[in-house]
Amino acid sequence: MIHSLAGGELKEYSRFDVAKVEYLDTQERAFALVACPNIAENDLVIIDFNGQEREARVLRVDKNVYEQNFPISVKRLKKIVRKV
């Protein structure tokens, strides 16, 4: 059965800024959601990591990423809190 005829609603996807970061303490790389303005490549930032703050270096910033095309769920991404 077609989804729209079943009474459901289609999800509206958003766009986000996403940064690839490298944690300074472990050299582990990950993606993080950019939640503060003016984040650029090579900035040192603080990331909220399950209630703890970790420092990381920004390797790359991807602007205006469409949520549906990003391979990781936005809900699972850690957030950049501020610059150091």
Q: What pLDDT score does 8 carry?
A: 66
Arithmetic mean of pLDDT over the chain: 89
Q: What is the pTM of this model?
A: 0.82
CA distance linking residue 6 with residue 81, whole number of Å: 41
Count other C-beta atoms under 10 Å from residue 37's C-beta.
7
Rounded to an integer, the average pLDDT of 73-83 is: 93
Q: Which of 8, 47, 12, 15 is nearest to 31 (CA)?
A: 47
Cα 74 to Cα 42: distance, rounded to the nearest angstrom: 23
Q: What are the DSSP E strand ranges found in the chain?
A: 15-23, 29-34, 44-49, 52-66, 78-83
For residue range 7-24, what is the model confidence (pLDDT) as tens digits?
667 778 899 999 999 999
The string of pLDDT tens digits covering residues 20-48 is: 999 999 999 999 999 888 999 999 999 99
